[in-house]
Homo-oligomer: A and B are copies of this chain.
């Protein structure tokens, strides 16, 4: 199986939910990037389970940067982040079981039964922890390039948050505001309603799905490519790597199917020698390349498949049907913790694409 991605920034993710640790090594980083571990920790903290909205498995999640840093800056070698697993409780997984809508069966089918089935093994959402830490680190590089990324919970059940503003200055402020929020919404009242929905699901031994909306501000025109490295393609590949993501749309996305070109073409204008568009139905991307407007997209999460209600499954050995009651510690919803992972994936994808901007145009020498 493949756990690597990226062309200029090359990541390999490794670990298992109930093994010794999870980690990532990032190859291709320029030397000299300041490594701010508190920022990694901050992003990890946003991802961490907390309160009654999340699993009772509470990992400390302290990132250890074991290679690639010298005197506080990247040293040109791969930067490796390890996060120890401490709160695993394998007694919860005494034997292989096929949990409905989990990867248990598909992993087993693919790997001939050799997969570590405890807590999903290397299919676990726990693998996103080192990515969140790395995202925190790289987000500082993007910010020093004038690029900020932020995500809010757009929808959960029938509750819908406000949309990100179409006004550039206001949007920039909203994106910044998301950084410090535990439960990231624009409208706090709606946030309360969403949390109530999650709690309700938890009490029912059930779970809920949701949709996140992400905006990237300050991205210059010219990032991405047509075809295989389109901004949409690179980001969606990373976003679909987050366990539970089942849909990604940019700008109007599926809404385009109802509309005419004359209604959704973004007219061009200019300001201070910079090309802008009067609307942003395209979500900041044309032909796979950023156009200088905010990049806006939405990511759909399925309800966590781990629920404690009775479910029907088959026995891994005999394939006979049987009932299943899951024990263990589960998240009644995942999207509110995953939003920092969406930010991290976005940062990682943009960083990779931006690393090669220097060679888009021939300057007369190498």
A147 to B365, CA, bound (A): 10
Across the interface, do A253 and B246 meet the contact criterion of CB distance under 8 Å? Answer: yes
Known: A16-B70, A30-B362. A98 touches B268 (CB 8 A): yes
Please name the residue on chain B nearest to A315 by beta carbon.
B270
Taking a contact as CB atoms closer than 8 A, the residue among B70, B233, B234 that contacts A116 in the complex is B70
Q: Is A179 an interface residue (CB 8 A)?
A: no
Taken residue by residue from 1 to 30, chain A's Cβ proximity to chain B (1 for < 8 Å, 0 otherwise) reads as 111110110111111100111110101101
A-B contact pairs, 15 of them (CB 8 A): A2-B229, A3-B78, A5-B228, A12-B25, A30-B362, A32-B114, A100-B277, A101-B266, A103-B288, A105-B291, A145-B365, A233-B238, A255-B300, A261-B307, A273-B319
Across the interface, do B106 and A291 meet the contact criterion of CB distance under 8 Å? Answer: yes
Known: A2-B225, A221-B109, A355-B366. A303 touches B67 (CB 8 A): no
Taken residue by residue from 299 to 316, chain A's Cβ proximity to chain B (1 for < 8 Å, 0 otherwise) reads as 011111111010111100
A102 to B288, CA, bound (A): 10
A4 to B204, CA, bound (A): 48
Across the interface, do B3 and A27 meet the contact criterion of CB distance under 8 Å? Answer: yes
Across the interface, do B211 and A257 meet the contact criterion of CB distance under 8 Å? Answer: yes
Q: How many chain copies does the complex carry?
A: 4
Q: Is A168 an interface residue (CB 8 A)?
A: no
Other A-B pairs, 15, CB within 8 Å; known A8-B356, A103-B286: A1-B76, A4-B228, A31-B361, A75-B115, A101-B264, A110-B223, A110-B225, A123-B288, A158-B258, A211-B254, A233-B241, A251-B302, A257-B300, A261-B303, A275-B314
A284 CB → nearest B CB, Å = 10
Known: A156-B257, A290-B106. A358 touches B359 (CB 8 A): yes
A220-254: which have CB < 8 Å to B? Answer: 221-230, 232-234, 236-241, 243, 245-254
Across the interface, do A360 and B303 meet the contact criterion of CB distance under 8 Å? Answer: no
A111 to B226, CA, bound (A): 12
A-B pairs, 10 with minimum CB distance: A103-B287, A247-B249, A77-B122, A112-B361, A247-B253, A207-B261, A358-B358, A106-B289, A31-B114, A5-B228
Taken residue by residue from 157 to 169, chain A's Cβ proximity to chain B (1 for < 8 Å, 0 otherwise) reads as 1100000000000
**Which residues of B have CB within 8 Å of A228?**
2-5, 11, 13, 237-238, 241
A220 to B25, CA, bound (A): 29
A156 to B155, CA, bound (A): 25
Across the interface, do B286 and A106 meet the contact criterion of CB distance under 8 Å? Answer: yes
Across the interface, do B14 and A68 meet the contact criterion of CB distance under 8 Å? Answer: yes
Q: Is A278 an interface residue (CB 8 A)?
A: yes
Q: Is A80 an interface residue (CB 8 A)?
A: yes
A61-95: which have CB < 8 Å to B? Answer: 66-68, 70, 73-80, 82
Q: Is A343 an interface residue (CB 8 A)?
A: no
A30 to B70, CA, bound (A): 33
**Which residues of B have CB within 8 Å of A45?**
none
Please name the residue on chain B nearest to A1 by beta carbon.
B225
A255 to B237, CA, bound (A): 20
Across the interface, do B70 and A110 meet the contact criterion of CB distance under 8 Å? Answer: no
Q: Is A265 an interface residue (CB 8 A)?
A: yes
Taking a contact as CB atoms closer than 8 A, the residue among B1, B303, B309, B314 that contacts A256 in the complex is B303
Across the interface, do A311 and B141 meet the contact criterion of CB distance under 8 Å? Answer: no
A228 to B285, CA, bound (A): 22
Across the interface, do A8 and B226 meet the contact criterion of CB distance under 8 Å? Answer: no
